[in-house]
Amino acid sequence: MKTAVIRHRVADFLKSHAPFDSLNNEDLLALAGSGRVKFHESEEDLFSAGDAVGAQVWVIQQGRVEMWEADQRRDVLGAGDLLGLEGVAGLDRYTYTARTSTDVILYAVDASLFESMVARYDDVSRYLAAHFSLSSVAGVGRTSWLDAAAPPGSFLQARFGVTLPMTTREAVRQMLAQDTEELMHEGRVALTADVLAMFCHRNPARLLREIRQAGSAEEMIPLLDLATRMVMEAMAHATDVDDGARIGAAVVSAMAECAVRLAEEGLDHFERPALPSGWLTFGAAARYDLIRPRWPNMAAVYDDSADATPDAGVFFTMWNGQADSWLHRFGLMETAAVWPPGTHPCMPLSAWKSFFTETIARPLGHDLYARREFFDLRTMAGDPRVLHHLQSHIGDELGKPNALVPLLANDTLSHLPPMTFFGGLVLELDGGERPAFDVTETALTPIADAARVFALGRRRLEVTNTLDRLASAAADFPAHARLFEESAEAFRIALYHQTLAGGPRIDPSRLGRYDSRLLKTAFGSIQRLLELTHTIFVAGA
């Protein structure tokens, strides 16, 4: 009788914590009755890193357990958290040392029985996977319109005379990449944006055209609102971040093109200098790290290598100022752009070349930390040759002896992720506690900074997107490919949560246990990425 009471009490406790809350009562009671209750005093090692895995999985009933890797504390666990999952995940050794920091009561359950639950319950499988890897993170409970069924092949054959086998997601990607509302196959139109929209109820290609052609703020504001809703409805889970960022970047670019066009129309009584010119954006907008439409920090750059009249700078300054004015009228709040001393949003190409030359040659004397995001740049509007000339110049300068990349690598350690969540609070690496954390500062920025280092280290100036930079780094350093893949997933998860929250502040007490576990695993991946960046470009320099 006493044993039955204890088993039911253990089952009641397990039922209140993920992933056991997904088990049926029969399986829950079987699991609760498979083990025993264990007590440990403070400062005991439950197991050590490298020990052979045991036949049990432990659930903390009360108390606090710290996970250590050598002399570094990697995690802090409390009531409802699991220990000893390595064996269930297919490993034969424990990854960390588990050490009690208070008196602890554990429920030990049979590992083989728990493993059978993993095979039978998707929620248990997902929760287990989230402890060890961020790869193949799947969404739950929501559906993106990007996954709507595409027009059937028979329909396309009847309508266009050709069949283009393609998912809705793939079709949207191609239309965005080709900047078109018509996809071709064998020299014929095979799918149009309007036809696709009949099936997925969204038409991003058409919306982009309308944004580019808007003639007033009254037209633009509703279009941007529609674009925001469209991209948010695409974001069902973290795996949608890539496509959400593509759509978001395309919306911002279309909006910038419209602002530049309207600004030029307002200056029709001035003679435009016959110089190649382009509007470049820097930082997050250049990296495609924005999903919701946001203010793009733009600079008008004109090529003064040709004959330039003395008033060329005046004209382009006015043009850029008018473009900014239109962005304000579109309802966008200007972000706090940092323009280092001696720079401003309208400079000739020669001035930008000098800017990068001095930054690369003497980074410590020119506030490299404030200038680092200027190495992320792409064309928003205008002549793309301006950007190509500037990237070529930066690449040439990076090819000369300099300390820029090692210094940037060292600076990545200025933004570190939290260590973990504990008791609904954010636990920092130094043991400090906070009620919330800034996901941009502690997750997105560190990954973007590290990805930039790897790109500049190989002089890949044409690669600006953070996820693309991580993919390139994985190819360049195959021995660490898994870490770059995990870091890319960590970036997706962080950007997903930032997007849903509508800002960078994340309150861990509002997160579900699965999302909390994923973010904790992401913090570990970010920490290892920063350590690798420092090892390769600083310690190994």
Q: 514 exposed, middle or buried (CB, 10 Å; 0-12, 13-18, 19+)?
A: middle
User: Which residues, at least 6 apart from 198, have a Cβ–Cβ distance to it below 8 Å?
Assistant: 151
Are residue 177 and residue 97 in the same domain, yes or no? no
Distance CA 314, CA 320 (A): 10
CA–CA separation, 185 and 404 (whole Å):
47
Query: Does residue 376 lie in a domain region?
Result: no
What's the CA gap between 66 and 166, in Å, rounded? 49
* Percent over 70 (pLDDT), the chain: 95
Q: Report whether 380 contacts 279 (CB < 8 A).
A: yes
**Final residue before a domain boundary, out of 105, 132, 159:** 132
510-515 long-range contacts, CB within 8 A, separation 24+: 511/421, 512/18, 513/17, 513/18, 513/80, 513/127, 514/18, 514/19, 514/123, 514/126, 514/127, 514/130, 514/140
Whichever domain contains 533, its CATH number is: 1.20.120
Q: Could you tell me the CA-to-CA distances from 177 to 173, 243, 250, 513 in Å, in that order?
A: 6, 11, 9, 37
What CATH number corresponds to the domain at position 55? 2.60.120.10
- For residue 317 the two structure tokens come to 């300054």
Same domain, yes or no: 458 and 538: yes
| 510 and 451 housed in the same domain | yes
Q: What is the pLDDT of residues 102-144, one digit of tens each?
A: 999 999 999 999 989 888 888 888 788 777 766 545 444 568 9
Residues of the chain with pLDDT under 50: 1, 136, 138-140
On whether both 150 and 122 belong to a single domain, the answer is no
Report how far apart the first and last C-alpha atoms of the chain are (Å, whole number).
67
> Is 122 in the same domain as 173?
no
Residue pair 100/459 in contact by the 8 Å Cβ criterion: no
pLDDT in the model for residue 1: 41
pLDDT at 243: 95
* 308, two tokens: 């330039």
Q: Quick one: 128 and 217 in the same domain?
A: no
pLDDT at 467: 96
The predicted-structure confidence for 281-315, as pLDDT tens digits, reads as follows: 999 889 988 898 888 888 999 998 766 666 788 88
Catalogue the long-range contacts made by 418-423 (C-beta closer than 8 Å, 24 or more residues apart).
418/442, 418/523, 419/73, 419/74, 419/75, 419/76, 419/523, 420/75, 420/76, 420/520, 420/523, 421/508, 421/511, 421/516, 421/519, 421/520, 422/64, 422/76, 422/77, 422/78, 423/78
* Confidence at residue 4, expressed as pLDDT on a 0 to 100 scale: 64
Task: Please give the residue range of the domain that contains residue 193.
Answer: 145-251
**What's the pLDDT score for residue 136?**
47
Residue 238 falls inside a structural domain: yes
Q: Are residues 24 and 128 in the same domain?
A: yes
Calculate the CA 383 to chain-centre distance.
29
Write phi, then psi, for 126 (nearest 5 degrees): -65, -40
